[in-house]
Amino acid sequence: MAKRLLGKEVTAALNERIKADVAALEEKGVKPTLCIIRVGENESDISYERGATKRCETLGVACEKILLPADVSQDELLAAIDKVNKDDKVHGVLLFRPLPKHLDQSVIENALDPAKDVDCMTDGSMSGVFTGKNVGFPPCTPQACMEILDHYGIDCTGKKAVVVGRSLVVGKPAAMMLIKKNATVTICHTRTVDMPSVVREADIVIVAAGRAGVIDDTYLSAGQTVIDVGINVNAEGKLCGDVDFEKAEPVVDAITPVPGGVGSVTTSVLVGHVVEAAKRKFA
Amino acid sequence: MAKRLLGKEVTAALNERIKADVAALEEKGVKPTLCIIRVGENESDISYERGATKRCETLGVACEKILLPADVSQDELLAAIDKVNKDDKVHGVLLFRPLPKHLDQSVIENALDPAKDVDCMTDGSMSGVFTGKNVGFPPCTPQACMEILDHYGIDCTGKKAVVVGRSLVVGKPAAMMLIKKNATVTICHTRTVDMPSVVREADIVIVAAGRAGVIDDTYLSAGQTVIDVGINVNAEGKLCGDVDFEKAEPVVDAITPVPGGVGSVTTSVLVGHVVEAAKRKFA
């Protein structure tokens, strides 16, 4: 049976580091503060917001909210972003996306002060992920994958890593982060021919396919570490990943469960970015 | 014997398209204009400048120059960039890098108006390459590789592509461009274990290793297309690529020579970007 890479263990270690940083900032009279901007009433946004709010509370980070109606105008939303940009008490901003279609998402994303961009929304942060420069913050989900690898001491140097998925939110940034960790990285996607044979060759597999259980044992081989980014609801109404866990677990060396894997680490990574943004400001 | 993928054939086709665009702009009273900013007297900068100037002339693009001493101050250089940003007659700017060490390269790179960033110097252009959004322009060398693949009708969809090198100037952007073309892309680098076995699996190989002749026939296999980005001077003082051409040619299906391959396409790609920048402005 594979070793289970548990999000809660990673989160516990992360949270200790964050709490220590928060305490150090408090001594300087600084309260790290996240501002969540939500447009409309999307259910998954509200669910993520609930988790982030709770995690902020636990870790001693303040959490403000700006809630706007789904038909908010571009100018009103830009004014809200301008307000948080200018607010010295706010260190990090989370804006839920995708935005309603009448808004120009690219303009709005880039209106945010890059120093407060804790969820990699601006072109500046994105270029930081690509260039490896310390600009802004990487997206939280792929960083959560890296935190899991780090926590469990899985060295990437010289390893073959395969990323399944080429999205801007997970696949591409995960690939860049793995290259920075000296892995030889292959990026697979919907147009990849004979994906099972490609994925089987990997030492480390990060799956962000966005489809429930598509990666089964025919894609996997002994000795692999599998990080499953997927969060899906299966036919029985239960949460499941992009990896078929029942079939994968007997084959591979280590695997993240869903739920209880990557998803549970992401919120702490986000709060950690807010604290880091506050630290950078007072460095 | 492998088919030779000749830069001059690609350039000839590119130049025809550029000339047509220049003629169309001329009818609107617009003369596309490149401004080259050179700091100091680096020999390879001067050589590239000579090539770009000549190519501009041939294609009907104006070429201005701002030549600054190697000890130019940060403020003076920023003032020069501000001047070209505000100059409506200048459509594209090429600034040679690396800059002398007393200058803050990152600040200077990002001072340029992204719309005039024809050589992918700003974070905005870099993020465009990474995100696939149509922001700025990609770096000229990896785009020259794509132009060669396109010109010779080499379809990347579903193919295995390997990029040797993870630099920001070639390796990483080339990988992103190949993903956009639906290839399954692997990025190799100095920390890759058993690189020959990885490269042999590829259908398309782009080599930007930065070392003369390191890719020989032990890395290659039948049916491959090899694009050699390297420009080195060998022990006999002759120009050569990163691929050992003599050993590679009998093995692979198609290969770019050095000289006469990628390097000869790059200048036309640059001039093409200037013309495209002028077109975008008047679109």
B130, B184, B193 ranked by CB distance to A130: nearest: B130
Phi, psi of B215 (to 5 degrees): -95, 105
When pLDDT is cut at 50, 70 and 90, the band that residue B124 belongs to is confident
Domain boundaries, chain A: 29-115, 140-263
The predicted structure's pLDDT at residue B283? 72
To the nearest whole percent, how much of chain A has pLDDT over 90? Answer: 91
Whether a cis peptide bond, with omega within 30° of 0, leads into B259 is yes
When pLDDT is cut at 50, 70 and 90, the band that residue B136 belongs to is confident
Residue A194 has pLDDT above 80, yes or no: yes
To the nearest whole percent, how much of chain A has pLDDT over 70? Answer: 100
Q: What is the mean pLDDT of chain A?
A: 96
Of residues A134 and A86, the one with the higher pLDDT is: A86
The one-letter amino acid at B193? V
ipTM for the assembly? 0.93
User: Which of A112, A123, A170, A203 is the best substitution to test chain B (most B C-beta atoms within 10 A)?
Assistant: A123
The predicted structure's pLDDT at residue A123? 86
> How close does chain A come to B14, measured CA to CA in Å?
29
Alpha-carbon distance B225 to B8, whole Å?
Answer: 18
When pLDDT is cut at 50, 70 and 90, the band that residue B160 belongs to is very high
Judged by DSSP in three states, B84 sits in helix
Question: Which residues of chain B neighbour A136 with C-beta distances below 8 Å?
Answer: none
- CA distances to A5, B148, B220 from B242, rounded to whole Å, are 41, 17, 13
Mean pLDDT across the stretch A178-193? 98
Instruction: Mean pLDDT check: name the lowest of A79-88, A115-124, B58-67.
Output: A115-124
When pLDDT is cut at 50, 70 and 90, the band that residue B44 belongs to is confident
Mean pLDDT across the stretch A178-195? 98
In this complex, is the C-beta atom of A187 within 8 Å of any C-beta atom belonging to chain B? yes
A-B C-beta contacts closer than 8 Å: 89
Residue B220 has pLDDT above 90, yes or no: yes
Question: Which residues of chain A neighbour B168 with C-beta distances below 8 Å?
Answer: 130-132
Contact B273, B142 (CB under 8 A): no
In this complex, is the C-beta atom of A239 within 8 Å of any C-beta atom belonging to chain B? no
Partner-chain contact A182 B188, CB within 8 Å: no
The predicted structure's pLDDT at residue B77? 98
Partner-chain contact A131 B126, CB within 8 Å: yes
Report the run of H or E that residue A37 belongs to, with start and end: strand A33-39
CA A203, distance to chain mean position in Å, is: 22
When pLDDT is cut at 50, 70 and 90, the band that residue B85 belongs to is very high
Question: Which residues of chain B neighbour A132 with C-beta distances below 8 Å?
Answer: 168
Q: At what angle do helices A171-180 and A123-131 cross, to 10 degrees?
A: 40
Alpha-carbon distance A121 to A133, whole Å?
Answer: 16
Residue B132 has pLDDT above 90, yes or no: no
Question: Which residues of chain B neighbour A158 with C-beta distances below 8 Å?
Answer: 191-193
CATH superfamily name and code, A140-263:
NAD(P)-binding Rossmann-like Domain (3.40.50.720)
**Strands B62-68 and A92-95, sheet pairing:** unpaired
When pLDDT is cut at 50, 70 and 90, the band that residue B248 belongs to is very high
Mean pLDDT across the stretch B91-111? 95
Tens-digit pLDDT profile for residues A217-266: 999 999 999 999 999 998 889 999 999 999 999 999 999 999 999 999 99
When pLDDT is cut at 50, 70 and 90, the band that residue A23 belongs to is very high
Alpha-carbon distance A60 to A22, whole Å?
Answer: 7
Alpha-carbon distance B130 to A110, whole Å?
Answer: 16
Tens-digit pLDDT profile for residues A32-67: 999 999 999 999 899 999 999 999 999 999 999 999
Phi, psi of A255 (to 5 degrees): -155, 145
Does the annotation list B231 as a binding residue? yes
In this complex, is the C-beta atom of A189 within 8 Å of any C-beta atom belonging to chain B? yes
The predicted structure's pLDDT at residue A49? 96
The predicted structure's pLDDT at residue B221? 98
Q: What is the mean pLDDT of chain B?
A: 96
The predicted structure's pLDDT at residue B281? 87
Residue A283 has pLDDT above 80, yes or no: no
Mean pLDDT across the stretch B10-28? 97
The predicted structure's pLDDT at residue B1? 85
Question: Which residues of chain B neighbour A191 with C-beta distances below 8 Å?
Answer: 157-158, 182, 184
Domain A29-115 and domain A140-263, same fold? Reply is yes
The predicted structure's pLDDT at residue A132? 85
CATH of domain B29-115: 3.40.50.10860
The predicted structure's pLDDT at residue B60? 97
Judged by DSSP in three states, A55 sits in helix
To the nearest whole percent, how much of chain B has pLDDT over 70? Answer: 100
Contact B230, B237 (CB under 8 A): no
Closest CA to B168 of A164, A176, A204: A176
Tens-digit pLDDT profile for residues A61-117: 999 999 999 999 999 999 999 999 999 999 999 999 999 999 999 999 999 998 999
Alpha-carbon distance A143 to B177, whole Å?
Answer: 23
The predicted structure's pLDDT at residue A135? 78
Mean pLDDT across the stretch A167-194? 97
